[in-house]
Amino acid sequence: MYRKPDREELTILKRAFNKWGIFEFAEQKGLVLNDLGHNNVKEVFLLSTSLEVIICQRQPYYAGLKIGELKKNSHRPCREQIL
Protein backbone atom coordinates (compact mmCIF):
# COMPACT_ATOMS: atom_id res chain seq x y z
CA MET A 1 0.00 0.00 0.00
CA TYR A 2 1.52 3.30 -1.11
CA ARG A 3 1.47 6.22 1.30
CA LYS A 4 3.35 9.40 2.12
CA PRO A 5 6.10 9.06 4.75
CA ASP A 6 5.23 10.16 8.27
CA ARG A 7 7.31 12.73 10.16
CA GLU A 8 9.80 10.23 11.63
CA GLU A 9 10.31 8.43 8.32
CA LEU A 10 10.76 11.73 6.49
CA THR A 11 13.45 12.76 8.99
CA ILE A 12 15.36 9.52 8.38
CA LEU A 13 15.13 10.01 4.61
CA LYS A 14 16.21 13.66 4.74
CA ARG A 15 19.28 12.74 6.81
CA ALA A 16 20.22 10.08 4.26
CA PHE A 17 19.70 12.50 1.36
CA ASN A 18 21.87 15.10 3.09
CA LYS A 19 24.60 12.48 3.59
CA TRP A 20 24.46 11.58 -0.13
CA GLY A 21 24.47 15.24 -1.21
CA ILE A 22 21.06 15.07 -2.92
CA PHE A 23 18.97 16.88 -0.31
CA GLU A 24 17.99 19.81 -2.57
CA PHE A 25 17.17 17.53 -5.51
CA ALA A 26 15.07 15.11 -3.45
CA GLU A 27 13.21 17.92 -1.69
CA GLN A 28 11.74 19.00 -5.06
CA LYS A 29 10.43 15.48 -5.77
CA GLY A 30 7.64 13.41 -4.28
CA LEU A 31 8.28 10.47 -1.97
CA VAL A 32 6.01 7.51 -1.31
CA LEU A 33 6.47 4.39 0.77
CA ASN A 34 5.17 0.93 0.03
CA ASP A 35 4.59 -1.11 3.20
CA LEU A 36 5.56 -4.66 2.35
CA GLY A 37 4.19 -6.08 5.57
CA HIS A 38 7.09 -8.42 6.31
CA ASN A 39 9.97 -7.59 8.68
CA ASN A 40 8.79 -3.96 8.87
CA VAL A 41 10.46 -3.19 5.53
CA LYS A 42 9.13 -0.20 3.60
CA GLU A 43 10.21 0.44 0.01
CA VAL A 44 10.98 4.09 -0.78
CA PHE A 45 10.04 5.49 -4.21
CA LEU A 46 10.96 8.85 -5.73
CA LEU A 47 8.55 10.41 -8.24
CA SER A 48 7.22 13.74 -9.44
CA THR A 49 5.14 15.77 -7.00
CA SER A 50 2.16 15.75 -9.36
CA LEU A 51 2.08 11.94 -9.34
CA GLU A 52 2.45 11.67 -5.57
CA VAL A 53 -1.22 12.42 -4.90
CA ILE A 54 -2.48 10.13 -7.67
CA ILE A 55 -0.32 7.21 -6.53
CA CYS A 56 -1.61 7.37 -2.96
CA GLN A 57 -5.23 7.40 -4.20
CA ARG A 58 -5.10 4.72 -6.89
CA GLN A 59 -2.54 2.26 -5.47
CA PRO A 60 -0.89 0.98 -8.69
CA TYR A 61 1.36 -2.07 -8.86
CA TYR A 62 4.53 0.02 -9.44
CA ALA A 63 5.21 3.71 -8.97
CA GLY A 64 8.27 5.89 -9.42
CA LEU A 65 11.92 4.97 -9.03
CA LYS A 66 12.82 2.73 -6.10
CA ILE A 67 15.67 4.37 -4.21
CA GLY A 68 15.90 2.10 -1.18
CA GLU A 69 14.19 0.68 1.89
CA LEU A 70 13.40 1.87 5.40
CA LYS A 71 14.06 -0.75 8.04
CA LYS A 72 14.50 -0.31 11.78
CA ASN A 73 14.84 3.47 11.66
CA SER A 74 17.51 3.45 8.95
CA HIS A 75 17.54 3.90 5.20
CA ARG A 76 19.26 1.33 3.02
CA PRO A 77 20.00 2.41 -0.56
CA CYS A 78 18.70 0.28 -3.38
CA ARG A 79 21.14 -2.43 -4.49
CA GLU A 80 19.41 -3.47 -7.69
CA GLN A 81 21.08 -2.44 -10.91
CA ILE A 82 19.16 -0.82 -13.71
CA LEU A 83 20.09 -2.27 -17.09
The pTM of the full predicted model, rounded to 2 decimals, is: 0.76
pLDDT value for 7: 92
Quick check: 14 pLDDT over 50?
Answer: yes
Question: Mean pLDDT, the chain, as a whole number?
Answer: 80
Q: Which helix (H) or strand (E) holds 20?
A: helix 7-20
% the chain with pLDDT above 70? 90
Quick check: 81 pLDDT over 60?
Answer: no
pLDDT tens figures, 17-44:
888 888 888 888 888 888 876 677 888 8
In the sheet that 42-47 helps form, which strands lie side by side, from edge to edge? 2-3, 30-35, 42-47, 65-71, 74-77
